[in-house]
A = this chain, B = another copy of it.
Amino acid sequence: MSQYIAPIRDMQFVLHELAGLGELANLPNCEEATPDVVDAIMEEGGKFASGVLAPLNKVGDQNGAIWNNGTVATAPGWKEAYQQFAESGWTAIGCPQEFGGQGLPKLVSTPVSEMFKSANLAFSLGPMLTQGAIEALVLRGSDALKAKFLDKMVAGTWTGTMNLTEPQAGSDLAAVRSKAIPQADGSYLISGQKIFITYGEHDMTDNIIHLVLARLPDAPEGVKGISLFVVPKFMVNDDGSLGARNDVHCVSIEHKLGIHASPTCVMSYGDKGGAVGYLVGEANRGLEYMFIMMNEARFSVGLEGLAISERAYQKALQYARERTQGTELGIKGGGKVAIIKHPDVRRMLMTMKAHVEAMRALAYVTAAALDHAHHHADDAERAKAQAFADLMIPVVKGWCTETGIEMASLGVQVHGGMGYIEETGAAQYLRDARISAIYEGTTGIQANDLIGRKMAREGGQTVKAVIGMMRRLDGNLAEAEGGMMGEHVAVVRAALAQGVSALEQAVEYILATFGSDIKAAHVGAVPMLKLMGIVCGGWQMARAVIAAQRKLSEGTGDSNFYKTKIVTARFFAEHVLPHAASYSHTVCKGAGSALTLDEAMF
């Protein structure tokens, strides 16, 4: 059995010293996020993750979800764990108080979400999708719809789903064909097939609330003719009791590489005439609503990359400390040692540790920006925070998930031959991690969003501001160089400066090319995304160095933690940041060779 211990020390560091939790608690509607409350939530979240969810992770992988004649049985223990999850209030943590939620800031729900994803990714997907459905209803649902559905969804009594994809409409949602026919009573009859529907059917709750994209009969072609509907599995009577079974059914589930316990459903709407649904918001604006929510869903999937990396790191570290193999380099006649003594194993563990910490810092700082964007009293501050979050979300999604796959693979490697054996558990993390770079928009889609909507459309305003923030850090780093770990700080400072220059060059190229040669710009999209990830990760590690150096100078706090943070930042500077220049080169130079060949020549 592999354990999971929530990395609360590092989470607290990021919350307080990088993401500004204290400042956040001064914003309107965030007052409850006091240090005491946050500490208690983190502790309870960690206990639930370690005690309830983590032990079910392998059970879920081995048993999977099982489809039988339209029903889906979740893995042993799943139902009970879900019940406990809902009863403990975890479904409600980030939801509005108006509907029974706890209304806590994103910055507080984020570490808890990380814990649950680390402990059991397949389990965490149900609540994540429900969260998306809740947001859609909060955002655009009528009062009647809110009254009917929201309280029970927030309480976890019912779960929710997001039904976007169809066989011909994956990355391209403009191709959605499902239909919605208006009825005399104001409802609609929905028909069509949806695929890849996470927790589209299961046995954990007695109702499931589907959010569904479909077209009205008179809708225009393409993206501007898609509307959003809410379609319950069981009709809900006015007194809240359940009514008739609706005409929506799970016709099969997928056999996947990983997240076996998360049922990925093919949903059929309207086989018997039409599933009753209700329009959310205005007609033909469904895709627009989706995009509002999608930002947060993408952020949440980005967290999966961080979460799996943390879990893989913990497991690899434990193995490296326990597994004895070979003798220590340079020690003649010494005995066998734990493999953590071998330089290459240390390199692998440091690679995992450094990436985890950089990803966590970037993700939590982005969560704080989302809170500022929602809650700040000042319009300009809200807009600035939103622009920052908008820029960072494709980076958090794309870079953290791609990195998550690499880190999980490295975790397998630390285990050697044992890593390839399924019983060990390291391989599950790799299998589970692989989906995160695909769903909620592939890495390519994130990268296109990054260079298009988030950079070129606004002439690079936000990314240039971020580059400015990175540059202004140089003074603080120069100052910190004078401190007791100055030698390490100097390395971080130099590497960040080079990384920022590389980033700036690539941004200039994208801005110059996007309008004139859009294909050339897009060849550089994924390299640009990786470049942004690396440099933003390095930026956050540099901020961590400054914070740590300050604490060391003051002589306050756990000096071992802060020293370790500085060394880890240096590792990131020496092993990860150097690739920024390579990616920048590829962004600026790599278009021609990718676009030259005739398709027949591949």
Contact = CB atoms under 8 A, between A and B. Distances in A.
A110 to B, nearest CB: 24
B344 A518 contact: no
A592 B255 CA distance: 45
A389 interface: no
Nearest to A326: B172
Interface string A329-344: 1100000100011111
A350 B417 contact: no
Interface stretch (A17-25, A48-56, A420-428): A420-428
Interface in A557-590: 560, 563-564, 567-568, 570-571, 573-575, 578-579, 581-583, 585-586, 589-590
A343 B519 contact: yes
A594 B586 CA distance: 28
A230 interface: no
Interface of A: 165, 168, 170-172, 174-175, 195-196, 254-258, 317, 321, 324-326, 329-330, 336, 340-350, 353, 405, 409, 412-413, 416-417, 419-423, 427, 430-431, 434-435, 437-439, 442-444, 447-448, 488, 491, 518-520, 522-523, 525-527, 560, 563-564, 567-568, 570-571, 573-575, 578-579, 581-583, 585-586, 589-597, 599, 601-602
A488 B343 contact: no
Tally of this chain's copies = 2
16 contacts: A171-B325, A172-B325, A254-B421, A256-B421, A329-B518, A329-B522, A343-B522, A343-B594, A344-B522, A345-B444, A346-B594, A347-B523, A347-B526, A491-B593, A567-B597, A581-B581
Contacts of A518: 329-330
Nearest to A589: B574
A255 B423 CA distance: 7
Contact of A570 (B422, B434, B593): B593
Given A525-B344, A567-B596, A416 B171 contact: yes
A567 B594 CA distance: 8
A593 B344 contact: no
Contacts of A175: 325, 336
Nearest to A560: B601
Nearest to A585: B578
A437 B417 CA distance: 10
A347 B257 contact: no
